[in-house]
Structure 1
Amino acid sequence: MSKVLDDPRDASLETKFALPTFWYRENFDGLGTSGMFLSGLIMVTRNRFLAWPSVLFGISSAINVHPLRAKDGGSGAGTLSSLLLCVGALITSYLPLFMISNVSRSTTAPLPTV
Protein backbone atom coordinates (compact mmCIF):
# COMPACT_ATOMS: atom_id res chain seq x y z
CA MET A 1 0.00 0.00 0.00
CA SER A 2 1.51 3.32 -1.08
CA LYS A 3 1.36 6.37 1.16
CA VAL A 4 -0.13 9.53 -0.38
CA LEU A 5 1.97 12.62 0.43
CA ASP A 6 -0.90 15.11 0.38
CA ASP A 7 -3.25 13.20 2.65
CA PRO A 8 -4.75 15.73 5.13
CA ARG A 9 -5.16 13.00 7.74
CA ASP A 10 -1.43 12.27 7.92
CA ALA A 11 -0.08 13.41 11.33
CA SER A 12 3.47 13.87 10.04
CA LEU A 13 2.35 16.72 7.75
CA GLU A 14 1.02 18.87 10.61
CA THR A 15 2.50 22.32 11.17
CA LYS A 16 2.13 24.71 14.08
CA PHE A 17 -0.45 27.52 13.57
CA ALA A 18 1.08 30.99 13.33
CA LEU A 19 -0.46 34.31 12.38
CA PRO A 20 1.15 36.14 9.47
CA THR A 21 3.67 38.82 10.43
CA PHE A 22 2.19 41.31 7.97
CA TRP A 23 -1.14 41.29 6.18
CA TYR A 24 -1.68 43.18 3.00
CA ARG A 25 -3.37 46.47 3.77
CA GLU A 26 -5.62 47.99 1.17
CA ASN A 27 -4.72 51.65 0.96
CA PHE A 28 -7.44 52.54 -1.51
CA ASP A 29 -10.97 52.56 -0.18
CA GLY A 30 -13.18 53.19 -3.19
CA LEU A 31 -16.43 53.63 -1.27
CA GLY A 32 -14.93 56.04 1.24
CA THR A 33 -13.35 58.08 -1.53
CA SER A 34 -16.61 58.15 -3.49
CA GLY A 35 -18.51 59.22 -0.39
CA MET A 36 -16.09 62.06 0.30
CA PHE A 37 -16.23 63.20 -3.33
CA LEU A 38 -20.03 63.18 -3.28
CA SER A 39 -20.01 65.08 0.03
CA GLY A 40 -17.92 67.84 -1.50
CA LEU A 41 -20.17 67.91 -4.56
CA ILE A 42 -23.25 68.16 -2.32
CA MET A 43 -21.84 71.12 -0.44
CA VAL A 44 -21.03 72.94 -3.67
CA THR A 45 -24.22 72.19 -5.61
CA ARG A 46 -26.64 71.89 -2.64
CA ASN A 47 -28.20 68.84 -4.25
CA ARG A 48 -30.09 67.03 -1.49
CA PHE A 49 -30.66 63.88 -3.52
CA LEU A 50 -26.94 63.07 -3.72
CA ALA A 51 -26.66 63.17 0.07
CA TRP A 52 -28.32 59.80 0.62
CA PRO A 53 -25.97 57.74 -1.59
CA SER A 54 -23.08 59.59 0.02
CA VAL A 55 -24.22 58.52 3.49
CA LEU A 56 -24.64 54.94 2.26
CA PHE A 57 -21.07 54.99 0.89
CA GLY A 58 -19.81 56.32 4.22
CA ILE A 59 -21.64 53.66 6.23
CA SER A 60 -20.43 50.93 3.89
CA SER A 61 -16.81 52.03 4.16
CA ALA A 62 -17.10 52.17 7.97
CA ILE A 63 -18.55 48.66 8.09
CA ASN A 64 -15.96 47.18 5.74
CA VAL A 65 -12.86 48.44 7.55
CA HIS A 66 -10.32 45.73 8.43
CA PRO A 67 -8.21 47.01 11.34
CA LEU A 68 -6.42 43.67 11.82
CA ARG A 69 -4.92 43.82 8.35
CA ALA A 70 -2.61 46.67 9.29
CA LYS A 71 0.82 46.05 10.72
CA ASP A 72 0.24 48.34 13.70
CA GLY A 73 -3.36 47.28 14.30
CA GLY A 74 -5.01 50.11 12.37
CA SER A 75 -7.69 52.38 13.72
CA GLY A 76 -10.08 53.13 10.89
CA ALA A 77 -9.83 56.88 11.50
CA GLY A 78 -10.07 57.57 7.76
CA THR A 79 -13.41 55.84 7.50
CA LEU A 80 -14.74 57.69 10.53
CA SER A 81 -13.87 61.06 9.02
CA SER A 82 -15.45 59.98 5.73
CA LEU A 83 -18.64 58.95 7.52
CA LEU A 84 -18.78 62.21 9.50
CA LEU A 85 -18.27 64.24 6.31
CA CYS A 86 -21.09 62.36 4.57
CA VAL A 87 -23.48 62.87 7.48
CA GLY A 88 -22.42 66.52 7.69
CA ALA A 89 -23.19 66.99 4.01
CA LEU A 90 -26.62 65.42 4.55
CA ILE A 91 -27.37 67.80 7.41
CA THR A 92 -25.99 70.77 5.50
CA SER A 93 -28.10 70.02 2.45
CA TYR A 94 -31.36 69.75 4.43
CA LEU A 95 -30.69 72.59 6.89
CA PRO A 96 -31.97 75.41 4.63
CA LEU A 97 -35.38 73.73 4.47
CA PHE A 98 -35.79 74.26 8.19
CA MET A 99 -33.98 77.57 8.62
CA ILE A 100 -35.14 79.71 5.69
CA SER A 101 -38.82 80.44 5.39
CA ASN A 102 -40.80 82.50 2.91
CA VAL A 103 -41.99 85.89 4.07
CA SER A 104 -45.76 85.81 4.24
CA ARG A 105 -47.82 88.58 2.65
CA SER A 106 -49.46 89.57 5.92
CA THR A 107 -46.20 90.89 7.33
CA THR A 108 -45.53 93.27 4.44
CA ALA A 109 -46.63 96.88 4.68
CA PRO A 110 -49.81 97.76 2.77
CA LEU A 111 -49.48 99.82 -0.38
CA PRO A 112 -50.47 103.50 0.01
CA THR A 113 -53.70 104.54 -1.70
CA VAL A 114 -53.94 107.82 -3.57
Structure 2
Amino acid sequence: MSQNDPRDASREVKRVPPQSWSGESPDALATSGMFLAGLIMVTRNRYLSWPSLFFGISAYINYHPLRTKEGGQPPLANLALAVAAVVASYLPFFLADPQRSSQPVKLV
Protein backbone atom coordinates (compact mmCIF):
# COMPACT_ATOMS: atom_id res chain seq x y z
CA MET A 1 0.00 0.00 0.00
CA SER A 2 1.11 3.52 -0.56
CA GLN A 3 1.95 5.93 2.25
CA ASN A 4 -1.05 8.19 1.66
CA ASP A 5 -3.64 5.34 1.80
CA PRO A 6 -5.84 5.81 4.92
CA ARG A 7 -6.64 2.08 5.28
CA ASP A 8 -4.62 0.20 7.86
CA ALA A 9 -3.13 -2.98 6.41
CA SER A 10 -2.62 -4.55 9.83
CA ARG A 11 -6.39 -4.62 10.48
CA GLU A 12 -7.29 -6.60 7.37
CA VAL A 13 -9.09 -9.87 8.11
CA LYS A 14 -9.89 -12.61 5.63
CA ARG A 15 -13.64 -13.08 5.20
CA VAL A 16 -14.85 -16.45 6.49
CA PRO A 17 -18.53 -17.48 6.33
CA PRO A 18 -20.14 -18.51 9.61
CA GLN A 19 -20.35 -22.20 10.43
CA SER A 20 -24.14 -22.10 10.45
CA TRP A 21 -24.22 -21.51 6.70
CA SER A 22 -24.55 -24.67 4.73
CA GLY A 23 -23.46 -24.93 1.16
CA GLU A 24 -26.28 -25.06 -1.33
CA SER A 25 -26.35 -28.53 -2.77
CA PRO A 26 -28.42 -29.10 -5.88
CA ASP A 27 -31.13 -31.69 -5.57
CA ALA A 28 -29.72 -34.13 -8.09
CA LEU A 29 -32.36 -36.81 -7.60
CA ALA A 30 -35.24 -34.41 -8.21
CA THR A 31 -33.56 -32.93 -11.26
CA SER A 32 -32.77 -36.30 -12.79
CA GLY A 33 -36.27 -37.52 -11.96
CA MET A 34 -37.82 -34.59 -13.80
CA PHE A 35 -35.51 -35.20 -16.76
CA LEU A 36 -36.33 -38.92 -16.85
CA ALA A 37 -40.06 -38.21 -16.59
CA GLY A 38 -39.88 -35.89 -19.57
CA LEU A 39 -37.84 -38.45 -21.49
CA ILE A 40 -40.39 -41.15 -20.70
CA MET A 41 -43.26 -38.98 -21.91
CA VAL A 42 -41.52 -38.65 -25.28
CA THR A 43 -40.10 -42.16 -25.75
CA ARG A 44 -42.69 -44.21 -23.80
CA ASN A 45 -39.88 -46.31 -22.35
CA ARG A 46 -41.54 -48.15 -19.49
CA TYR A 47 -38.27 -49.42 -18.03
CA LEU A 48 -37.15 -45.88 -17.21
CA SER A 49 -40.48 -44.97 -15.65
CA TRP A 50 -39.84 -46.86 -12.42
CA PRO A 51 -36.52 -45.14 -11.57
CA SER A 52 -38.23 -41.85 -12.34
CA LEU A 53 -40.98 -42.72 -9.86
CA PHE A 54 -38.34 -43.70 -7.30
CA PHE A 55 -36.59 -40.35 -7.79
CA GLY A 56 -39.91 -38.53 -7.41
CA ILE A 57 -40.71 -40.31 -4.15
CA SER A 58 -37.18 -39.67 -2.89
CA ALA A 59 -37.46 -35.97 -3.74
CA TYR A 60 -40.79 -35.79 -1.90
CA ILE A 61 -39.41 -37.51 1.20
CA ASN A 62 -36.19 -35.46 1.27
CA TYR A 63 -37.89 -32.09 0.76
CA HIS A 64 -36.79 -29.50 3.33
CA PRO A 65 -38.58 -26.14 2.94
CA LEU A 66 -35.96 -24.19 4.86
CA ARG A 67 -33.13 -25.39 2.63
CA THR A 68 -34.69 -24.84 -0.77
CA LYS A 69 -34.10 -21.98 -3.15
CA GLU A 70 -36.75 -19.47 -4.11
CA GLY A 71 -37.23 -20.86 -7.60
CA GLY A 72 -37.10 -24.55 -6.76
CA GLN A 73 -39.72 -26.99 -7.93
CA PRO A 74 -42.22 -28.18 -5.34
CA PRO A 75 -41.87 -31.89 -4.60
CA LEU A 76 -45.50 -32.66 -5.41
CA ALA A 77 -44.99 -31.44 -8.98
CA ASN A 78 -42.00 -33.75 -9.33
CA LEU A 79 -43.95 -36.68 -7.91
CA ALA A 80 -46.99 -35.94 -10.09
CA LEU A 81 -44.82 -35.83 -13.21
CA ALA A 82 -43.21 -39.15 -12.28
CA VAL A 83 -46.62 -40.79 -11.74
CA ALA A 84 -47.84 -39.34 -15.04
CA ALA A 85 -44.77 -40.79 -16.76
CA VAL A 86 -45.51 -44.26 -15.38
CA VAL A 87 -49.14 -43.98 -16.49
CA ALA A 88 -48.16 -42.69 -19.94
CA SER A 89 -45.66 -45.49 -20.46
CA TYR A 90 -48.16 -48.24 -19.56
CA LEU A 91 -51.26 -46.63 -21.09
CA PRO A 92 -50.94 -48.35 -24.51
CA PHE A 93 -51.38 -51.74 -22.80
CA PHE A 94 -54.78 -50.74 -21.46
CA LEU A 95 -56.18 -48.99 -24.50
CA ALA A 96 -57.76 -51.34 -27.03
CA ASP A 97 -57.06 -50.78 -30.69
CA PRO A 98 -60.14 -51.77 -32.72
CA GLN A 99 -58.08 -52.92 -35.72
CA ARG A 100 -55.87 -55.20 -33.64
CA SER A 101 -58.53 -56.53 -31.29
CA SER A 102 -58.57 -59.95 -33.01
CA GLN A 103 -54.78 -60.37 -32.75
CA PRO A 104 -53.11 -61.47 -29.50
CA VAL A 105 -51.26 -58.81 -27.55
CA LYS A 106 -47.50 -58.98 -28.07
CA LEU A 107 -45.52 -57.67 -25.12
CA VAL A 108 -42.16 -56.25 -26.04
TM-score (norm 1): 0.60
Amino acid at match of 2:34: M
Residue 91 of structure 2 corresponds to which residue in structure 1? 95
Instruction: Tell me the C-alpha RMSD between the 2 structures.
Output: 2.7
Q: Distance in 1 between matches of 2:68 and 2:35?
A: 25
* Distance of aligned partners of 1:25 and 1:86 in 2 relative to their CA distance in 1, 3 Å threshold: farther
* Distance of aligned partners of 1:49 and 1:70 in 2 relative to their CA distance in 1, 3 Å threshold: closer
TM-score (norm 2): 0.63
Deviations 1:17-44 (A, max 9, x none): xxxxx86474621111100100111111
* Distance of aligned partners of 1:87 and 1:79 in 2 relative to their CA distance in 1, 3 Å threshold: same
Q: 2:74 aligns with which of 74, 78, 85?
A: 78
Residue 14 of structure 1 corresponds to which residue in structure 2? none
Unaligned runs of 5+ in 2: 1-19, 104-108
Q: Distance in 1 between matches of 2:77 and 2:25?
A: 15
Q: Distance in 1 between matches of 2:51 and 2:68?
A: 28
Q: Distance in 1 between matches of 2:81 and 2:25?
A: 19
* Distance of aligned partners of 1:25 and 1:100 in 2 relative to their CA distance in 1, 3 Å threshold: farther
Q: Distance in 2 between matches of 1:64 and 1:92?
A: 25
Residue 36 of structure 1 corresponds to which residue in structure 2? 34
How many residue pairs match? The answer is: 82
Q: Distance in 1 between matches of 2:96 and 2:23?
A: 46
Q: 1:61 aligns with which of 59, 62, 75?
A: 59
Q: Distance in 1 between matches of 2:83 and 2:37?
A: 9
